[in-house]
Each structure stands twice: as C-alpha cells, then as structure tokens.
Amino acid sequence: MVDLRVRLAGIELDNPVIPASGTFGYGYEFAELYDINCLGTFSFKGTTREARFGNPTPRIAECPAGMLNAVGLQNPGVEKVISEELPRLKEVFRKPVMANVSGFSVEEYAYTCSLLDQEEQVGWLEVNISCPNVHDGGMSFGTSPRAAAEVTRAVKAVTKKPVFMKLSPNVTDIAEIARACEEAGADGISLINTLLGMRIDLRAKRPLLANGTGGLSGGAVFPVAVRMVYQVYEAVGIPIIGMGGVSSAEDVLEMMLAGATAVEVGAANLVDPFVCRSIVEELPGAMEKYGIQDLKEIIGGGHHG
C-alpha cells in the first residue's frame, strides 16, 4: 500500500496535489463537478485589499503547448472574500485551504495577510510577489532580493500561519530571491509563476492581448519549472511547492524528485476540470510503476539518485 501523505509546513496533506490559484476559483464551482476533498488542498483566487476588475479584454490567448493570460488579479477584495466566499467554500471543503495574496505595496500585502490570518480555515498564506500582469505591483516585488525580503518580513510580522512566497521565473537568479525570502522568515517557497510572453495578431498587426504581454503557462513551461525547483531546493532549507505545466501523476513525481514537497496544477484545470482528481487517482499506479512506496521519501531525490 503506497503512502501519498506529505507534511507542508507542519500541516499534513492526504496527497501533494493542489490546484493553483487563479484556476480553481474559490473551490465551490468545482465542487459541483466532484468531491474536492480528494485534493491535498487548493490555493484560492488571488486576493487584494480592494476589489479589482482586472485588465481589459482580450486577456487570454492560446499558443502552442500552453496559453497566455493577462487577467490582472480580478477579485472582490479581501473583505468580501472573508464575508462571502469563505463561508461558501467551507460548505464544500473541510480541509485547511491556502489563501493566495497579492498587493501593490508592502503595506497592502501586510494588511490583507493580517485579515486572512484570522480565518480558521486558512492553513497557509501564499504571497504572490510574481504576477506579471499588473503594473506597479506583483512581479516588481519578486525580481529584487531586497524587495522580496521586505514583503516577507512585513507579512511575517502580522501573521502566525505558515507563509509561502510565490516567486517569479522572470529573474536572472531564482535561488538568490528564494534565499532572501528564507532569511526574512518565509516558511516556504512556491514556484514558478508564469513566464512573460506575447502573441501578435497578424490581421490587426498589434499584440493580441489588450495588456500587451501576458503570463505563459501550460506544458511549455514545465522544464523551466523543474529546473528552478531543483535550483531552489539546493539553495534553501524550507519546503517548496512546485508548479508550472503540471498535468499528470508523472509530472508530480518529477517535481517532487526535483525538490517539491507539494505540487500545484494550474493551466491544466482550464483544459480539463477533472484533471486534479485524475492525478490523485493515478498517483498510486505511477508510484508502483517507479518503485515508490512513500512520497515523502522521494522529495529532493533527484539530487542524489
């Protein structure tokens, strides 16, 4: 009998499969399709202090082996998330959930995290300093070790729950950013967010996305994500949540061998809403195929296997 359980910053998950923020809403939409309690947990939609409409349309573009998005953190704001979304979520999901937080200033990150930290069902805070689709915030905090550390310290000062800093791949040295977050008190690292990309409309002869650029996700980014998880595992001593192009049980195992304790599934949810359930169901067979009895034992195994 294989063991799918992992511990993420002190909280046990039944399995390491986590739908990524922005692709799973607040859970209850997917709960109409299947029992989402089969998941390890999930990261709900990115939350900011104030409500955001997001970027103008078009803000989605297809491309080979993936997609571009420039949604722009559309959400109802933290107070409505707490008063309206979390009560509905609690009706369909009985496990601790991951709260994804974005901001446009250090103070905003701290304020939003301080409110969500008080919510009983929130198990972890995933602090997104890597969104490439908003101006004057998001990724600008995640491309500088100093700025990443500043946000980390501010959030840790107002929270008691584990804090995972979600990092951008659009940097020269991902390990340097991760080390800065760890030194500032982060409990874990989430990576990678999307790669910055663009498509051009041949008929209109201008960028297809109204925002100009967008975040590339999907299978095309998987090798980049594995490489960055591998590098960060060697640079820090805190747990890693790996993501980027994951769509199968084998991808989960590969991410864990690179150093991930748990694995998020993003764009694949938009292609197949049942993909996370399928991955959970297929994990035992994939483990047996590769002679794995306990998932905890393979974390980082690719570094000395």
Catalytic positions are: 131
Burial of 133: CB neighbours in 10 Å, binned 0-12, 13-18, 19+: buried
Q: Give the integer Cα–Cα distance in Å for 166 and 164.
A: 6
Q: Which residues on adjacent β-strands are paired with residue 241?
A: 190, 262
| Dihedral sign computed on CA atoms, order 150, 194, 36, 54 | positive
Q: Please enumerate in sequence order all residues whose Cβ is within 8 A of that of 170, keeping only pairs 6 or more positions apart, or say none.
A: 130, 132, 139, 143, 195, 196
Rg, C-alpha atoms of the chain: 18
Cβ atoms of 267 and 66 within 8 Å: the answer is yes
